[in-house]
A and B are shown apart, each in its own frame.
Chain A
């Protein structure tokens, strides 16, 4: 079998396609009516995609932040200072996460497929991998879920429940959230804790995106 005429074999494939009339079956390219329908279908598909995890996360995140702000506005007294600070910190960190999600969605939509392939695919893969920054940020709010019920009176009373249970738990969460902030990265994706934490299709695609970025880097290298 002669390999030197690959392009001829490919041309024969063209001929075969023509002969088989398989292309004529692709009615979606053949008339305007079908094309209009196609556009409607695509618009629908985009709406369906709105229901993905990311978009739900944005929606729920906004609702959650508004709810927290409502509670804060109705708790502005000294006795509830820990609650106001905790809820405020949670609202700020959640807002950062939501803003990062929104930015990603906008950037993905702005990608122009008519740019060269390496540029577009690299941008897409980079955007996907940057998704890992969002849980890093969001984990930082976890200690504040352990502090919202603290009150100045409880702290000053010297209650052992505060000093030996609540405060150590809060500090433990501070440690873990900072540890996760430092360690959530692609380089740890083969670790057991990472796999347990990010065991969902969304995260699998993020890890694969990083692999694809490596593939792009290899492809870009001038082999000459």
Chain B
């Protein structure tokens, strides 16, 4: 990936997937300042791993693997600083011109619940929420497809309970 053309292609890929990278950073890094470091770390590792990109995998599988591995390692290093992720900042930016809607509340709650999950469960749920097929989630995580389905159901049920508790 050394030529200018390849660099441009890489940047285009990052641009296309920046929302995913941002959401991974948001979920694994509570500190806003550190979050940019994590994003850089992910992009750097994507660039570095690009040389070893194995075409037998889909690009998204490869990208999720690298991004989530870097994020989990970063999260484990920084865990001592862990605090509630201030997701309000995203909503705050969006809310400048709008009233706080029910949709915002839902996003906020979902994001809060995801942040409370353990590192690996968090990865699983992020992939599920991104709409990745179970077979791809299994490939990214390195567990069986059945296990993916069971775990997702279990986490969804937990979330459901939490949503219900809040509602009541």
Contact = CB atoms under 8 A, between A and B. Distances in A.
B85 interface: no
Contact of A38 (B4, B44, B107, B143): B44
B54 A16 contact: no
Given A14-B19, A42-B44, A219-B120, A113 B107 contact: no
A22 B90 contact: yes
A10 B8 contact: no
A112 B52 contact: yes
Interface residues of A, number: 51
Overall SS of chain A's interface: helix
A119 B160 CA distance: 31
Determine the interface band of chain B, counting residues with CB < 8 A from chain A: 35 or more
B93 A121 contact: no
A65 B146 CA distance: 54
B7 A215 contact: no
Interface of B: 4, 7-8, 11, 14-15, 18-19, 21-23, 36, 39-41, 43-45, 47, 49, 52-54, 62, 65-66, 68-70, 72-73, 76-77, 79, 89-91, 93-94, 103-104, 106-107, 109-111, 118-121, 123, 128-131, 139-144, 146-147, 149-151, 154, 156, 159-160, 163-164, 166-167
5 contacts: A29-B11, A29-B14, A29-B21, A114-B49, A116-B142
Given A6-B156, A9-B110, 13 more contacts: A3-B160, A16-B91, A16-B104, A22-B90, A28-B43, A30-B11, A114-B49, A114-B69, A115-B69, A117-B142, A121-B120, A219-B121, A220-B143
